[in-house]
Amino acid sequence: MARILITSAIPYINGIKHLGNLVGSQLPADLYARYQRGRGNEVMFLCATDEHGTPAELAAAKAGKPVAEYCAEMWAVQAEIAKGFRLSFDHFGRSSSPQNHKLTQHLAGKLYEAGLIREVDDQQMYSKADGRFLPDRYVEGTCPNCGFNSARGDQCDNCTKQLDPVDLINPRSTISGSTDLEMRPTKHLFLCQSKLKDQLEAWIDSKADWPVLTTSIAKKWLNDGDGLQDRGITRDLDWGIPVKRGDEDWPGMEGKVFYVWFDAPIEYIACAAEWAEANGKTDADWERWWRTDKGADDVRYVQFMGKDNVPFHTLSFPATMIGSGEPWKMVDYIKSFNYLNYDGGQFSTSRGRGVFMDQALEILPADYWRWWLLSHAPESSDSEFTWENFQQSVNKDLADVLGNFVSRVTKFCRSKFGEVVPEGGDYGDQEFALVAELEEKLEAYEAHMEAMEIRKAAAELRAIWVAGNEYLQAAAPWAAFKEDPERAAAIVRLSLNLIRLYAVLSEPFIPDASATMLAAMNADGAGWPNSVGDALAVLEAGHEFTVPDVLFAKISDEDREGWQERFAGTRT
């Protein structure tokens, strides 16, 4: 039994994510986790919310809530939606957890001991009225370039010019509106990534099986321009993990927190510690997934993320791990994704353009979305969601092919033989040909799933469904029944077994429909098939079943048009 550690890029806390975010990390990670569990492997699947930084503070202020309270509420919202999509995390953690505080401070201490952290003197805008340093986004003023009077300290939204807070004319605090601001000296910690360049490059070069999309991005950051730069890992903020070296205070860094990019990936590890606490396990139970000196040397670690996250996962986070000098489990494979666009443009959180995760579940069950998103995953290039394509895919693949097969077989059996697997009759050439075809397709399906070729896996699964339909059409038990009822019984017996097999194979993509099919076939505890022939003999003559409700309802043109209009923009 293999042991597989899976992490999905962790979603930021402020707000509900759209379908493009979902298919860029959490959903394919779930597919892979479900598949590996289905194969009988031991899986640890982790995700969490990324909670620190200025955007969380701003979103909390906008909501009129203390930031800790805001984050706790939004975590619960995101956790509930994840459940709705059947994301099968072993734990859905929080980067603000005590475990992440402790581990982040510990790793900073180790990096300091290794001489990989330096202090840098800097100047930053300070507000006397607010009694604090202001992050760039907390300062507004008039743009020196275009005269726009609400330009932010980091950028002017009107002319898009990149700015520094000192560039602004008449700068003011967005917290209090105070204009009593001054530049004050401050100090920050930088992680000396440049010193780790050779080690990082050697590590990346050792990953010959990584996709080009992943390694080319990493190589670009390592070598372009002046090469890999040192990065600030602290901020003058209240909300975050206080800067410490392990348990000890860090002289000169009082009142500062770690920058969110530093602590967020560490949450992958801390999340396992949270899992242990939540499930009454010991430290050894989570460390066997993460420490190669404590049992993780036989773990295969796979990460899922959008392409914009690749630099952090190939350079910054590994720099923390390698630099610590401790035996942390490093990632073995990174599966990265391009972007999903929405109906001729981009998803837009600010303009409410596109379908957001909560809205998706309001209008249709999770399986409909899971199937479309995964079978159109933006793997080799960006892909696009259109309502026409969604309607067509749901109606054809799910309703006409899979749903229709299940309905025809079970209803025909009920009407002629009752709700029980019929006995009698022998299998002939048609059945042997079907089994041979399915053996081949199953092998291809498994290979695509193993390789995380998600679109190819979906296409193969669909082909497996189609093969059953074509068999049923050709074998025509309704015609056979008139001449030779025993022949019809054999066809139906095989077809009922096919429904059970489809439930097992389809579970990673459409877990709810899979559960419905298994329940209808009265066959729980179904394992992954060793051979198609054996799998099609599991339900024996006399085994009872029930006719399930319609698995997938078709999407009407009217529904499609209504949704198209509803999600065109301006979410309220």
Please tell me the count of residues contacting Zn ion according to CB under 5 A. Answer: 7
Q: Which stretch binds Zn ion (CB under 5 A): 30-38, 151-159, 177-185, 403-411?
A: 151-159
Q: Which of 16, 39, 130, 145 binds Zn ion (CB under 5 A)?
A: 145
Closest approach of Cβ 114 to Zn ion, in Å? 43
Nearest distance from residue 307's CB to Zn ion, in Å?
29
Nearer to Zn ion, 161 or 300 (CB): 161
For Zn ion, the closer CB: 158 or 346: 158
Shortest distance (Å) from residue 55 CB to Zn ion? 21
Nearest-approach distance from CB 164 to Zn ion, in angstroms = 13
Binding part of the chain for Zn ion, among 138-146, 393-401, 447-455, 501-509 by CB under 5 A, reads: 138-146
CB count within 10 Å of CB 558 equals 8
Q: Are 114 and 324 in contact (CB under 8 A)?
A: yes
Distance in angstroms (rounded) separating the CA atoms of residues 407 and 417? 15
The residues near 428 (Cβ < 8 Å, ≥ 6 apart) are: none
> What is the DSSP annotation of 275-290?
HHHHTT--HHHHHHHH
Q: How far is the CB of 551 from Zn ion (least distance, A)?
A: 54
**Two tokens, residue 552:** 């997938």
The window from 28-36, 135-143, 310-318, 324-332 that contacts Zn ion (CB under 5 A) reads 135-143
155-174: contacts with Zn ion (CB under 5 A) = 156, 158-159
Q: Applying CB under 5 A, which of residues 112, 148, 261, 333 lies at the interface with Zn ion?
A: 148
Which CB sits closer to Zn ion, 142 or 516?
142
Q: Which is nearer to Zn ion, 160 or 572 (CB)?
A: 160
Nearest approach in angstroms of CB 142 to Zn ion is: 9
Cα three-residue angle 425-429-431, rounded to 5 degrees: 65
- Structure tokens that stand for 554 in this block: 């078709």
- Residue 10 or residue 143: which is nearer to Zn ion going by CB? 143
Binding-site string for Zn ion from residue 254 to residue 283, where x marks contact by CB under 5 A and - marks none: ------------------------------
Kindly state the smallest distance separating residue 167's Cβ from Zn ion, in Å: 10
CB neighbours of residue 220 within 10 Å? 12
29 binds Zn ion (CB under 5 A): no
Q: How far apart are CA 244 and CA 246, in angstroms?
A: 6
Which string of DSSP letters, residue by residue, matches 55-103?
Answer: HHHHHHHHHTS-HHHHHHHHHHHHHHHHHHTT---SEEEETTSHHHHHH
> From the list 68, 76, 146, 447, which residue makes contact with Zn ion (rule: CB under 5 A)?
146
Residue closer to Zn ion, measured from CB, 119 or 167: 167
Q: Could you tell me how far CA 394 lies from the centroid of its own chain?
A: 22
Q: How far is the CB of 344 from Zn ion (least distance, A)?
A: 29
| Contact window for Zn ion (CB under 5 A) among 152-160, 461-469, 479-487, 523-531 | 152-160
Between residues 156 and 435, which has the closer beta carbon with respect to Zn ion? Answer: 156
Candidates 141-149, 186-194, 443-451, 555-563 — which segment interacts with Zn ion by CB under 5 A?
A: 141-149
SS3 at position 3: strand
- Taking CB under 5 A as the criterion, the residue among 13, 107, 143, 217 binding Zn ion is 143
Task: Tell me 210's DSSP state.
Answer: S
Question: Shortest approach of Zn ion to residue 165 CB, angstroms?
Answer: 14
Shortest reach from residue 135's CB to Zn ion, in Å? 20
CA separation for the pair 344, 295 (Å, rounded): 49
Nearest Cα neighbor of 213 from 334, 377, 340, 301 is 334
Nearer to Zn ion, 149 or 473 (CB): 149
Write down the least CB distance from residue 157 to Zn ion, Å: 8
Site string for Zn ion, 91-130 (x = CB under 5 A): ----------------------------------------
SS3 of residue 306 by DSSP: strand
Q: Exposure string (b/e) for 292-306, b if CB count within 10 Å is 16 or more?
A: beebbeebebbbbbb
Near Zn ion by CB under 5 A, which window of 129-137, 140-148, 350-358, 464-472? 140-148
Closest C-alpha to 402, from 350, 367, 432: 367
Taking the C-alpha atoms of residue 30 and residue 83, their distance in angstroms, rounded to an integer, is 11
Q: How far is the CB of 169 from Zn ion (least distance, A)?
A: 11
486 CB burial (10 A radius; 0-12, 13-18, 19+):
middle
Count CB neighbours of 391 within 10 A: 20
User: Whole-number minimum distance, CB 144 to Zn ion, in Å?
Assistant: 8
Which region among 136-144, 249-257, 345-353, 556-564 touches Zn ion (by CB under 5 A)?
136-144
Tell me if 158 sits within 8 A of 201, measured CB to CB.
no
Beta-bridged to residue 38, according to DSSP, are none
* Helical (H) or strand (E) element with 121: strand 117-127
Which CB sits closer to Zn ion, 142 or 336? 142
Joined together, the tokens standing for residue 396 give: 């054809």
* Residues in region 490-519 near Zn ion by CB under 5 A: none
The dihedral of CA 559, 565, 569, 572: what is its sign? negative
Residue 352's Cβ-side half-sphere holds a number of Cα atoms within 13 Å equal to 11
Question: Which stretch in 94-102, 154-162, 220-228, 362-370 sits in contact with Zn ion by CB under 5 A?
Answer: 154-162
Would you say 98 and 51 are in contact if contact means Cβ atoms under 8 Å apart?
A: no
> Closest distance between Zn ion and the C-beta of residue 456, in Å?
47
| Binding interface with Zn ion (CB under 5 A) | 143, 145-146, 148, 156, 158-159
